[in-house]
Amino acid sequence: MGATILDGKALAASWEEQLQKRVDALKEKSGGQTPILATILVGDDPASATYVKMKGNACRRVGMESMAVEMPGATTTEQLLAKIDELNNNPDVHGILLQHPVPEQIDERACFDAIALAKDVDGVTCLGFGRMAMGEEAYGCATPKGIMRLLEHYQIDIEGKHAVVVGRSAILGKPMAMMLLEANATVTICHSRTQNLPALIKQADILVGAVGKPEFIKAEWVKDGAVVVDAGYHPGGVGDIELGPLSDRASALTPVPGGVGPMTINTLIFQSVESGEKALA
């Protein structure tokens, strides 16, 4: 029996239909106003430009508006902070996305943390992370929150399970671990320098690959019946986990592409709609 495919693409499409209805209802209540997501792109990295375009398209599909803010590659930290402050104080903007990465001369963490908590729909601020980790209200980081929504939809049992997260980035590995812990999993956080990594991965009932290296996690390290979530995407259409041999060994897995990626963007839109509802309803 093959693994259940955790189809993020189909789930995101289903959620878009629901979000469109919520946006339509909000327009009626607010005299035609819609949630607005401001996207900030600094520099001319083509991959970043593509991601921002995809997020703008997703806004339009649900009837939202997006405000594209493009800044030159020579932008300073101070100039970017001023732009974020302007958007924080614009009542028509309900969510702010600063596209990662920014040029190296910019203090990215300072700029992330300048985003107002109420508009941090991508879940990137230290304050938002801290509140989420403490079980308080905050918007979750888009990728791990998208993964949690995917697991919930497919009724994957998390409570009491041993979840192993491979990766410790501020916007994926760390918040992923905290969200799984909040859902009553027992969580082990690993990374590229972890000793005896295959042995730790072998213990995982739920495995999340978020290490950022193509097929770094080998199929032979994964125990039969595990739930396998691959949050990576690399040229050639591969993720962080060697998924091919797991199609008939895992109990469930996310495809690459079409698993985690669509849910990341959908979660950003989902949280932007929530922010708009709080401000406009």
Extract the tokens encoding 77.
């930290």
Question: Residue 14, annotated ligand binder?
Answer: no
CATH code assigned to 142-261: 3.40.50.720
Q: Is 120 a catalytic residue?
A: no
Helix runs in 162-206, H state only: 173-182, 197-201
Q: Is 107 a catalytic residue?
A: no
Fold: same for 31-127 and 142-261: yes
Question: Residue 60, annotated ligand binder?
Answer: no
Q: Is 55 a catalytic residue?
A: yes
What residue segments make up the domains of the chain, in order of their start? 31-127, 142-261
Catalytic residue among 55, 119, 145, 174: 55
- Domain over 31-127 is classified CATH 3.40.140.10: no
Catalytic residue among 120, 122, 205, 230: 122
Q: Which pTM value belongs to this model?
A: 0.95
Question: Residue 48, annotated ligand binder?
Answer: no
Pairs from 241-246 (Cβ < 8 Å, separation ≥ 24):
241/207, 241/209, 241/215, 241/216, 241/217, 242/215, 242/217, 242/218, 243/219, 244/219, 245/219, 245/220, 246/3, 246/219, 246/222
In tens digits, the chain (281 residues) has pLDDT values of 799 999 999 999 999 999 999 999 999 999 999 999 999 999 999 999 999 999 999 999 999 999 999 999 999 999 999 999 999 999 999 999 999 999 999 999 999 999 999 999 999 999 999 999 999 999 999 999 999 999 999 999 999 999 999 999 999 999 999 999 999 999 999 998 999 999 999 999 999 999 999 999 999 999 999 999 999 999 999 999 999 999 999 999 999 999 999 999 999 999 999 999 999 97
